[in-house]
Chains A and B, each alone.
Chain A
Amino acid sequence: QSVLTQPPSASGTPGQRVTISCSGSSSNIGDNYVYWYQQLPGMAPKLLIYRNNQRPSGVPDRFSGSKSGTSASLAISGLRSEDEADYYCAAWDDSLSGVIFGGGTELTVL
């Protein structure tokens, strides 16, 4: 069982906006940055969002991150078929002295 809680699945139609939530606690999200990773089928994960809401170069501005208290969200606007992937949130946990991941959310583009 993951320390960060994500919904196992999410879906949307092309052009739609979808959000994926990530719930934690004061020892992780509440006190540290949140990161989001995208894993396309058969590929290694890729950094999507760092420091709660920053996008690495090359990541479209359709992807955005936010954080409030002990929860975070990833929003994808203008949904495209190529966004179909698994999405993971992550954060440092002060109690565990290590990095923790959410269980992952499988996004389906209908």
Chain B
Amino acid sequence: EVQLVESGGGLVQPGRSLRLSCAASRFTFDDYAMHWVRQVPGKGLEWVSGITWNSGNIGYADSVKGRFTISRDNAKSSLYLQMNSLRAEDTAFYYCVKGYGQWLVSAFDCWGQGTLVTVSS
């Protein structure tokens, strides 16, 4: 069974940075696109960013464009999200999500358990 384990969440002050990691296992990581989706506790889902299997195509939600950077290391089966200039409205659970295929336009067929990022002074 596919396993996605997020780490790196925590409490951070506004304006500071944080890097999330996702360790993937039990599937061929470099065959699939990967994404980050976030959810404010008690609220709905918001797609944050996605990256194709070979990092050739990357997308961001307008709300994080210019502040967040997604990347992946296929040799380590790992996905990352570098979050800079954090704001209070970035507070949310961040889910690591596997795409159904190689490209950004696909279903999200496996989700991690999420890591909580809290931006507060």
Which A residues fall within an 8 A CB radius of B?
2, 32-33, 35, 37, 39, 44-47, 50-51, 56, 88, 90, 92, 96-104
Given A44-B114, A45-B45, A98-B61, 14 additional A-B pairs, CB 8 A: A33-B107, A37-B45, A39-B45, A45-B37, A47-B100, A47-B107, A47-B109, A50-B109, A96-B61, A98-B47, A98-B59, A98-B60, A100-B47, A101-B45
| Cβ contact within 8 Å between A44 and B108 | no
Contacts of B112 in A (CB 8 A): 44
Contact with A along B29-47 (1 / 0, CB 8 A): 0000001010000001111
Whether the pair A92, B44 counts as a contact (CB closer than 8 A) is: no
Contact A35 B62 (CB under 8 A): no
Please state if B111 and A45 are interface contacts (CB–CB under 8 Å).
yes
Which B positions have Cβ atoms within 8 angstroms of A? 35, 37, 44-47, 50, 59-62, 95, 100, 104-105, 107-114
A-B contact pairs, 9 of them (CB 8 A): A32-B105, A39-B45, A44-B114, A45-B108, A47-B100, A47-B107, A50-B107, A56-B109, A90-B47
Q: Given contacts A101-B44, A101-B46, is CB(A44)–CB(B105) below 8 Å?
A: no
A48 to chain B, nearest CB (A): 10
Chain A nearest CB from B24 CB (Å) reads 15
